[in-house]
Amino acid sequence: MSFSPELHHWLILSTILFSIGIYGVLTRRNAVGVLMSVELLLNSAAMNFLIFNHYASKPFIDGAIMALFIIAVAAAEAVIAMALFVAIFRSRKTVDVTQINTLKG
Amino acid sequence: MGLVSWLFVLPFATAIAVILTPAGMPKMVKKIALAGTSLHLALTAFVTYKFVQVAAFSGDAVKDALITHLYLVEKVPWFESLGIQYFVGLDGISMFMVILTSIVIFTGVLASWTVTERPKEFFALLLILVSGVFGVFVSFDLFLFFLFYEVAVLPMYLLIGIWGTGPKEYSAMKLTMMLMASSALILVGFLALYQGSGKETFDLIEISKVHFPIVFQNWVFPVIFIGFGVIGALYPFHTWSPDGHSSAPTAVSMLHAGVLMKLGGYGALRIGLYLLPEGAQNWALFFMGLTTINIIYGAFAAIKQKDLKFFTAYSSVSHCGFVLFGIVTLNMIGVKGAVIQMFSHGIMTALFFGLIGMVYGRTKTRIVTDMGGLAKVMPWLAVCFYIAGLASLGLPGLAGFIAESHIFLGGFVGNQWADATTMRILTVIATMSIVVTAVYVLRGLANVFQGPLKEQFKTLTDATLTEKISTGILVVTLAIVGMAPWYFIDLIEAAVYPMINRLGLTASNWMVF
Amino acid sequence: MDITLNPADLTHTIAFYTLALTSIVAALIVVTAKRIFRAAVALAVVLICGAGFYILLNYDFIAGVQLLVYVGGIVILIVFAVMLTSSLESIEEPPSLGRKALGLFSSLAFLATAVIAFSETKFPLSSISAEQPKDVAKAVGRKLLDYGAGGYVLPFEVISLLLLASVIGAIVVARNPKRKNEGSAT
Amino acid sequence: MNELANSFAFNNAWLIPALPFFSFLVVGLFIRPVSDKLAGIVATLSVATAAFLSIWLAFDYFSAFPAGAEHPGLISWSFEWLRYEEHLAVNVGVLVDSLSILLMVVVTFVSSLVHLYSIGYMKGEDGYGRYFTYLNLFTFSMLGLVVAPNILQTYVFWELVGVSSFLLIGFYYTKPSAVSASKKAFIVTRFADLFFLIGVLLIAVVGYNAMSMFGAPGSLPDNVSAFDFSYLTSSGVSIMMNNLGLLTPAMILIFIGAAGKSALFPLHIWLPDAMEGPTPVSALIHAATMVVAGVYLVARLFMPFAASGTALLVAGYVGAFTCLFAAVIACTQDDIKRVLAYSTLSQIGYMIFALGVASATETLGYTASLFHLFTHAFFKALLFLGAGAVIHAVHTNNIWNMGGLAKKMPITNITFLIATLAISGVWPFAGFFSKDEIIASAFGTHHYVIFAVGLLVAGITAFYMFRIYIVTFLGKARSEAVNKAHEAPMTMTIPLIILAALSAVAGFVHFGDFVSVGAESGHAEGGFPIWIPALLSGLSGIAIAWFIYAGNSERSKALTERLGAIYRVIYAKFYIDEIYLFVTHKIIFRFISAPIAWFDKRIVDGGVDLTGWMTRRGGAVFSRLQTGQAQTYTTWMVNGVIAVAVLIWIFVS
């Protein structure tokens, strides 16, 4: 067994980060906190792409492109999310997600 | 596009034309719908002519056939990976049903000439519904069949919920829920057939070449039969029918009782009996008992009804029982009778509901005891009503007799898988309905049309021209089938042979395919 | 136990573990910090560590992008969001115990499932990393603008459209409705 | 090909039923809306032509097969109408044999006279054209029934007869009593038809099964159908069915059908009520046509009935009982048409028991029955038409509001008297010969109970007929209307005169030479002269009636008071109607129909509603999971994804 980082190490790392992100998404009360947790998720997903690209048996570059796309999408998402937070804050004076419960029948 | 596809494309195209009509032109909408359906009537006549030209009606090949022979087939691969194809065609039974539907929708459009609330949406939905019905009758791919089936069933919810009367939301919901539940059963059955055939195809003809294991047939047959039985008003799954029919607007009742309920019998025959002959053998007696209850129970329940529509709905329960009863006699005579009964009940009940709508439009009541002596002011409607009533009690010379005599004879002739004595006893019980039917039909009609004319009805008028045309067509159809049945029997006989011949096959015979 | 003592590898390994530990701790802070601003700072740390990882994986260009866009753009954006919706010092109410437990359960369940899943899976990869393109930035650029087979020009355009749409959308959503009439008047 | 190949009437025998049918269509659809008068004329002419054709046919037939020779059944025209299966086809056609000729002649003849009579009788009535349409339909149905070469055609027209009689009885559809009478007629006969249908199904299916196994019997053509009378009456078939034990049940079932149409006890209740129709209709239904359909059916299937024996005996006793029962009731009724209706029941009873006492070897009863059918058609039609003329004149049915009409209506009086004498069995009128033959046949076959009933009823018949004759035509006028009464118009009296002439002379026909089973003619020969007691019985009945009703009306009142409760029971027709009402309304409607309707609404439908309710309750419960918080949803989603992944992993690996 080797301590030098192999595929599995990398994957475990990204999975841990992803799990932490999940925890955050599920528990943060502040909407901005939720957004940050989502960024963690996206980050670890991008990392996974790069990891697989790195360890692929053939020279690929598609993983890197996907990571790029993820970063771009994350940026777009952050912009929209911020706009939404501002709009919600303006109308409800809070961004506490436990207070925002109109999503039910 | 082939001839058969036009059968359902035409109403659909008419529906689109209706939707695209500019708002505020209700007259235009009706004219388009009428033009579309009359065109369809002509198309059906042409297709029938073509069909009669190409189809073989006699000969040993027809008599010994084991696989339904289709004519005017169109077959195009669709989702090849799933074994789904666009597969439409005609055999005698579908031809017969197409004729029925074409007549009923034409008269239905005429009968809804007085619709004033959102006519555009009404006619569009009606036409979409009917294109689904045509699709079911011509499709020979299980997937396509189911697709069209859903298209036919779903608009009913809106049609009753929006244009209905009385507790319409309740009825619409109940009807839709029960039919959806039955669709689920049908879907389960179809998927089981798809899986069980091992051929990875929804092609009905291909599946029919497979001999399913007995155990498989024993559970799939009741699933299919009950699934289709719900829409065919099989006891005790019939209760959507009285509520639904009484709440629905006239044309919808006509179509629903006249055509949609036939999908049940048609499916039970085409899918249940044809694909699962051994399942049918094992379950025949059970379902025969159930349908006997249907027949008698519907008739007795009709006696007690005060509302004309409820009354007709229960009589439909009784008559649709005959359809299913005929199917499970598992012999040539009975199955032919079931098909004719589908047709005759379709026409008869469309006539009934059409007339009820017309009478209701005038008297503003459907309670029989509130009426009386109406024959004096509306003789045309009275005559048509009497003819419909007489057809429903199986008077010779009208279509009902041809069907019922076939079914009773079928029940008496019996088959080799069920106990003959039990079958005969059940048949005798079923025949008792002809008396009960006479009782309720005559009581109902006497209350409505005979007796002293009430003061408030003295100013009412007889049928208008459109109403005369629509009822006239239906009456003439009833009489033609009743007096010259041989054309129609020839039409369906060739299609029934394979269904019956397959019943006699032993497991080793299946190797021929 | 055979521990290779290749100096390059050793540096590599140490860097990996250091960064991993940092990023995990920082990520934990992101999700648990009561002060939302502190969380934002921790997020920046995680993302910077991420850039470090990319360098370790030989994707210098992506690491640069990560730093520029993520740390430089998104984190700033988030800080702005924090400031627009609450004061920097505001303290978040801790989540309820049940929610915490559920969240913990869910994340651990995911972790366990994922780890078991890929430890059971035999990836068709060589343990030794394959020959990478010499210049990642160049390769990425070519691939992105390549309209032949395997080219990404269409997604690239779509992404640009998405960014544009999100910018416009953000403006529309966040615009103060009270000013709406004035805006349309001019 | 056969002796009648060159006969126009034979080759075109299908016209006999078809003419009234065409006229029905033409009059009903085209003429009726235009002109009432023309409708009546066309309808009458069509039936008269049919009558002419059938008499021509009878003439040709009996020329080809003269008296005493064998009278074969020939099919003049047929085509395959409905084919259920091989050997189970319905070949609609026209069967010409002595029985069908007899009925064709009787039906068309009486019907055309009724048509003619109706032109006058119905004048000015609302629905004049409609009336003739119905009459045509009825005549067509009846003719289709009697010419049927197979039992399913018989059934088909049997039903049509039921419907057209329903329409005719309910002609005055705004009158509640007419409506309920028509309903009753239809439903009671339909109830009987149910048994007929089951009987037909039974014998047809047995025949079909036998023929699909062994092929058609050698004596018959290969394509013979199990419905064909030629098949059903062949002796081999009867033996086969008897061996299966199915002959007697099937024949009894068919007999119940016949009893329904012929209004035999206990299915007789519709017939007296059927008097609600216009009077000529009563003449048509009661005299010649609908009610003798049952007699015709038993006669048509005489061979299998005789082979069964038991079935025939049942028929005999039911007939005899009805004969007596109806005669007793007839003595007490006040409505002239009701008396005639009960007298019809009684006379039909004669015909049926005459058939019942006959057997394959002793066929006198068969001939006698049909002879009586023949004569009865004339004098009963005459009685009804005469009664119609009276009612037309005085506008009441109650005999106690009449009296002294002899002077006002001389033609009606004479013709009515002739008919009364004929039905009472007084020589030389027609009834004497036929009734004499019936009683002789019962005596000759040693059915002494039936014989005694026949003899007794002959007396009762004479009594009640003279009762109404005396009360109606003799004595003093008992109401204003009588004074204003005058003789009926020509169209009404001509039929009366024709019928009176026939009632007087029809008995002299050597009937047995023409209509009989096989070649031998049934004739009461030698032995004890039965006609003496029969005639005596009739004469004593007349004498009693004269004693009670002529002149002194106190005697009849005293008699009714003396009889007290018995009289009341008889007057109320033995409460049979009430029993039926009880059974239908109280038992069927209340204890079968209402509970089923309730069960359907509450239990079956309730089950569906319960499912819906449970779904909604379940939805309400589960909707609590829906908190509106995105995080909760996400939690479920994440865990769901994980669960799905785990499940896939478990099941796939």
Q: Which of A23, A56, A64 minimises the CB distance to C140? A: A64
Instruction: Name which residue leads in pLDDT, A60 or D619.
Output: D619
Mean pLDDT value of segment B481-507: 85
**Considering CB atoms only, which of A22, A89, A96 is closest to C107?**
A22
Establish how many alpha carbons lie within 13 A of residue D623's alpha carbon, considering only the half-sphere containing its beta carbon: 9
Which residues on chain A are in Cβ contact (under 8 Å) with D630? 97, 100, 103
Distance CA D322, CA B502 (A): 54
Alpha-carbon B459 to chain mean position: 37
Is C13 a member of any domain? Answer: yes
CA distance C132 to chain D (A): 33
Nearest to D524 by CA among D403, D433, D636, D594: D433
Give pLDDT, residue B511. 60
Compute the C-alpha angle D188/D189/D195, nearest 5°.
Answer: 105
Q: What is the pLDDT of residues B64-86, one digit of tens each?
A: 888 888 888 888 888 888 888 99
Look at residue B507 in the predicted model and tell me its pLDDT. 66
CA–CA gap between residue B327 and residue B234 (Å, rounded): 12
**CA D403/CA D474 separation, integer angstroms:** 6
Give a yes or no: residue A100 inside a domain: no
Report the alpha-carbon distance of residue B23 to residue D486 in Å, rounded: 72
Confidence grade of residue D31 (pLDDT, cut at 50, 70, 90): confident
Closest chain C residue to D642 measured between Cα atoms? C110
What long-range pairs does A94-99 form, CB within 8 A, spacing at least 24? Answer: A95/A30, A95/A31, A95/A32, A95/C85, A95/C86, A96/A29, A96/A30, A96/A31, A96/C93, A97/A28, A97/A29, A97/A30, A97/A31, A97/A34, A97/D629, A97/D630, A97/D631, A98/A29, A98/C95, A98/D629, A98/D631
Interface mutation target, options C47, C83, C173, chain A, most CBs of A under 10 Å: C173
Among the listed residues D484, D456, D496, D482, the one whose alpha carbon sits nearest the alpha carbon of residue D401: D482
Number of domains making up chain A: 1
Check A19 against C111: CB less than 8 A apart. yes
For A75, the closest of C73, C111, C133 (CB atoms) is: C73
Per-residue pLDDT band at D551 (split at 50, 70, 90)? low
Find, among D454, D432, D457, the residue nearest to D443 by Cα.
Answer: D454
Cross-chain residue pair D638–A104, CB shorter than 8 Å: no
Summarize the confidence of residues B153-167 as an average pLDDT: 86
Judge whether A104 lies within some domain.
no
Domain membership of residue A63 (yes or no) is yes
Highest mean pLDDT among B12-21, B107-116, D399-408, D437-446: B12-21
Whether D113 and D135 have beta carbons less than 8 Å apart is answered as no
Looking at residue D648, its pLDDT comes to 87
Cβ atoms < 10 Å from Cβ of B367: 14
d(Cα B275, Cα B269) in Å, to the nearest integer? 9
Q: How many Cα atoms occupy the beta-carbon half-sphere of D165 within 13 Å? A: 33
Which chain D residues are within 8 Å of A98, Cβ to Cβ? 629, 631
Is position B513 within any domain? Answer: no
Residue A30 DSSP class: B
pLDDT at residue D519, rounded to an integer: 45
H or E element, residue C60: helix C60-65
| D381 and D288 Cβ atoms separated by less than 8 Å | yes
Nearest Cα neighbor of B105 from B19, B149, B40 is B40
Nearest to D631 among A26, A104, A105 (CB): A26
**Residue B2 pLDDT level (bands cut at 50, 70, 90):** confident
Q: Which residues of B111-132 are buried (b: 16+ CB within 10 A; e: fewer)?
A: bbbebeeebbbbbbbbbbbbbb
Rounded to the nearest angstrom, the gap between the alpha carbon of residue A75 and the centroid of all alpha carbons in its chain is 11
D552 is written with which tokens? 């002194």
Does the residue B509 lie in any domain? no
D410-424 vs D448-473: helix axis angle to the nearest 10? 170
Contacts of A32 in chain C (CB under 8 A): 36, 40, 78, 81-82, 85-86
Contacts with B300 from chain D: Cβ below 8 Å? 592-593, 596-597
Asked whether residue B299 carries a pLDDT value surpassing 80, the answer given is yes
Chains in contact with C via at least 3 Cβ–Cβ pairs below 8 Å: A, D
Chain A residue closest in CA terms to C131: A59
Sign for the CA dihedral angle at A54, A56, A58, A63 comes to: negative
> How many structural domains comprise chain B?
1
Q: Which residues of A touch C167 (CB under 8 A)?
A: 79
How many residue contacts between C and D have a Cβ separation below 8 Å?
Answer: 17
- Provide the H-helix boundaries in D122-243: 128-146, 151-169, 176-214, 229-232, 235-243
Please compute Rg for chain D using Cα positions. Answer: 30
Strand partners, B141: B203
Q: With respect to residue A51, please indicate whether it lies within any of the assigned structural domains.
A: yes
Which residues in chain C (61-80) have CB-CB distances under 8 A to chain A?
61-62, 65-66, 69-70, 73-74, 77-78, 80
List pLDDT tens digits, range B14-58. Answer: 999 988 888 778 888 888 999 999 999 999 999 999 888 888 888
pLDDT digits (tens, 9 = 90+) for B279-288: 888 888 899 9
Chain D hits for A103, Cβ within 8 Å: 628-630, 633
pLDDT band with cut points at 50, 70 and 90 for residue D303: confident
> Cβ contacts (< 8 Å) between D600 and chain B: which residues?
239, 242, 297, 301
Taking only residues 4 to 33 of chain A, the set having a beta carbon closer than 8 angstroms to any beta carbon of chain D reads: 22, 25-27
Judge whether A99 lies within some domain. no
Give tens-digit pLDDT for D499-528: 888 888 877 777 767 776 654 544 545 456
Instruction: Give backbone dihedrals phi and psi of D574, rounded to 5 degrees, phi first.
Output: 60, 20
**C66 belongs to a structural domain:** yes
Whether A92 and chain C come into contact, CB under 8 Å, resolves to no
Chain C contact for D611 (CB, 8 A cutoff): no
Output the pTM of the full model: 0.80
| Per-residue confidence (pLDDT) for residue A3, from 0 to 100 | 66
- Write down the pLDDT at residue D608: 78
Domain that holds residue B147: 3-503
Which residues of chain A are within 8 Å of residue D634 when distances are taken between CB atoms?
25-26
pLDDT level of residue D121 (50, 70, 90 thresholds): confident
Residue B362 has pLDDT above 80, yes or no: yes
pLDDT of residue D535: 79
Cβ of C59 within 8 Å of Cβ of A54? The answer is yes
> Where in the sequence is the domain holding C65, given as residue range(s)?
8-71
Q: Tell which residue, B103, B129, B141, B155, has the closest CA to residue B8.
A: B129
Nearest by Cα to D377 from D105, D167, D58: D105
Q: Is A84 on the interface with D (CB under 8 A)?
A: no
Determine the structural domain holding residue A81 and report its residue range: 7-92
Averages of pLDDT over runs of 10 residues in chain A (105 residues) are 73 92 89 89 92 77 87 88 84 78 68
Q: What is the ipTM score, two decimals?
A: 0.72
d(CA B478, CA D646): 62
pLDDT for D233 beyond 60: yes
The answer to whether the beta carbons of residues D32 and D129 sit under 8 Å apart is yes
Residue A1 belongs to some domain of the structure: no
Q: Helices D36-64 and D15-26: crossing angle, nearest 10°?
A: 170
- Angle (nearest 5°) at CA A39 between A38 and A45: 90
Quote the distance between the C-alpha of residue C140 and its chain's center.
19
Residue of chain B nearest D81, judged by CA positions = B486
- For chain B, the chains sharing at least 3 beta-carbon pairs closer than 8 angstroms are D
Listed as ranges, residues in chain C with pLDDT below 70 are 1-8, 87-90, 125-134, 177-186
Find the distance separating the first CA and the last CA of chain D, reported in whole Å: 87
Angle at B19 between CA B13 and CA B24, to 5 degrees: 140
Q: Are D57 and D7 in contact (CB under 8 A)?
A: yes
| Residue C104 within any structural domain of the chain | no
- The dihedrals phi and psi of C144, each to the nearest 5 degrees, come to -65, -35
| Inside any domain, residue B511 | no
CB-based contact C117 D645, cutoff 8 Å: yes
How many whole angstroms separate alpha carbon A39 and alpha carbon C78?
Answer: 10
Residue A2 lies in a domain: no
Q: DSSP string covering B311-329, please? A: HHHHHHHHHHHHHHHHHHT
How far apart are alpha carbons D480 and D82 in whole angstroms? 59
Of C39, C86, C169, the CB nearest to A80: C169
Query: The CATH number of the domain where A61 resides is what?
Result: 1.10.287.3510
> DSSP secondary-structure letter at B74?
E
Picking from B168, B419, B99, B440, the residue whose alpha carbon sits closest to that of residue B289 is: B419
In a domain, A31, yes or no: yes
